[in-house]
Amino acid sequence: MIVKILGTGCPKCKKLEENARVAISELGISATVEKVTELDKIMDYGVMMTPALVIDEKVVSSGKLLSASDIKALLM
């Protein structure tokens, strides 16, 4: 599984990455977390508001900071 955090490095983007790592750890699943900070690559996903969360190339959330429990629900 590949989890991508789309964002330019704002505090919410960093917190979303942290929450994603916590969710993955708590679920005990194998996943790679990648950070995408380049605006052109973020736009390629059709995302207009960051932070955004992408799971296996599917945008599952954009424009909001999800909690670790929210992310766990999306990963299951």
C-alpha 41 chain-centroid distance = 14
- Coil, strand or helix: which one is 61? strand
Q: Which of 3, 5, 6, 13 is catalytic?
A: 13
Q: At residue 23, what are phi and psi to the nearest 5 degrees?
A: -60, -45
9 is catalytic: no
Active-site pick, 10, 39, 43, 48? 10
Q: 13 an active-site residue?
A: yes
What is residue 53's three-state secondary structure?
strand
Identity of the residue numbered 56: D
Q: Annotated active-site positions, please?
A: 10, 13
